[in-house]
Amino acid sequence: MPHLDVSRLRLPTGPRADWALAGLVLALAGVAEGQRLGADWDASASVIGSWILAAAVCAVLPLRRRHPAAVGWCTVLGTGAYYLLSTVDGPLVVIPIAALYTLAAQGRIQASVAMAAVMVIGVGAGALVGTGDVTGTAVFMLTGWLVAVVALGAMRHDRLAYAEEQAKGRATQERLRIARELHDVVGHTMSMIHVQASSTLHRLEKNPHLAEEALTAIKQNSKDGLQELRATLGVLRQVDEEAPTTPAPGLSRIDELISSAALAGLEVRVERSGVRAPLPAAVDLATYRIVQESLTNAVRHSGARHVAVDLHHGQREMTLSVTDDGHGATGTAHGSGIAGMTERARALGGTLSAEPGRTGGFTVRARLPLPDHHEPTGGAVDDPDSAGG
């Protein structure tokens, strides 16, 4: 005997489900109307009219997703006319109920409530005049069914709307994360190149040797920045690219930031204290990026000559401060530098403040909580936007 694989059986969906439902209801309605035929199968005008209305109501059901309101009213009015002509309680009421659900699921609650009210009033009027099988019990049961259908449709609409908002929120957060990473990578590199190139122009004639060192630094900075940028874009394109040759951003690369800032004219002093243990990857990356952005702001906006970086690795949190001796303004009120640092800190459950000092200069302070359990990274961390694909 041939074996029937039940797991491969699938119920129809979409328009095919509508056609299947309409066909089933029409067949059952035909059977019910057959009871009205006489012994000689003589169909009266009311029987023929009932069949025509049933066929018309079932035929418009597959259009309910494109034209829910029009189909809903057509099925309601058509079903009402059918029950006025017919003397049997056929299953045609299933069709307007299906149309009613579609209308509610699309968020058109007022129209679906109005349609349900018309159906209840019509059936109630039939009960009052005593038409056949229509009784008060039937009105009560129909009202319950219609309320349940509208409620289910509204719940589906709310669930889909919530899922859509969640998806939009995730997409927005992803765009912000990407923008923040690109800002940190490109902004820092280009700022350092700009300052070093300007310095080179002044040194070129007076001290060619120092100008050569600056150009070498510009070459290396542009190469490193390009590698990070390509890695970030590679993640966005989701293609397989060669992994970057430079270490992933983390405090293990802070000496590179100091060297780059020194070539731009900044004297940077770094003091580290606390636990001598690897940081969690997310905290390591955030600390590096905050220091990087703070140095970038000092180079571009504050006119500082000296910067002090204090890093304290506590048992429960990482705290850091970056203080420069500039004129106390960062020039980033309309940019995304401080906003990006703040977002990084908040994403880890921490805080960040950036404000001018009382006696001049500018200070950035951040507190980054450490998770209870994390994987050690050995200092350098895996930047999710610095992987090769």
| Beta partners for residue 310, in sequence order | 271, 321
Report d(CA 356, CA 354) in Å as an integer: 7
Q: How does pLDDT run along the chain (389 residues), one tens digit per residue? A: 455 454 454 555 667 787 888 888 888 877 777 766 655 666 677 777 778 888 888 888 888 888 888 888 888 888 878 777 766 766 778 888 888 888 888 888 888 888 888 877 777 766 665 555 556 676 777 778 888 888 888 888 888 888 888 877 777 777 777 777 677 667 667 767 777 677 677 666 676 666 667 777 777 777 777 766 766 666 555 544 444 445 567 888 888 888 878 877 788 999 999 888 888 888 888 898 899 888 888 877 777 888 999 999 998 999 999 998 887 655 444 445 788 788 888 888 899 999 887 777 889 999 999 886 444 444 434 444 443 33
Given a contact cutoff of 8 angstroms between Cβ atoms, the answer to whether 382 and 248 are in contact is: yes
For the record, the structure tokens of 50 come out as 């009932």
Lookup: tokens for 54: 């049933």
Task: State pTM to two decimals.
Answer: 0.44
Check whether domain 177-369 has CATH 3.30.565.10, yes or no: yes
* d(C-alpha 291, C-alpha 248), whole Å: 15
Break the chain into its structural domains and give their ranges.
10-134, 177-369
CB neighbours of 62 closer than 8 A, spacing ≥ 6? 15, 18, 19, 22
Nearest to 301 by CA among 270, 328, 269: 328
Q: Within 10 A of 382 (CB to CB), how many other CB atoms are there?
A: 15
- For 69, phi and psi rounded to 5 degrees? -70, -50
First to last CA, the chain: 52
Q: Which of 58, 53, 56 is nearest to 23 (CA)?
A: 58
Strand runs labelled E in the chain: 267-274, 306-313, 317-324, 351-356, 362-369
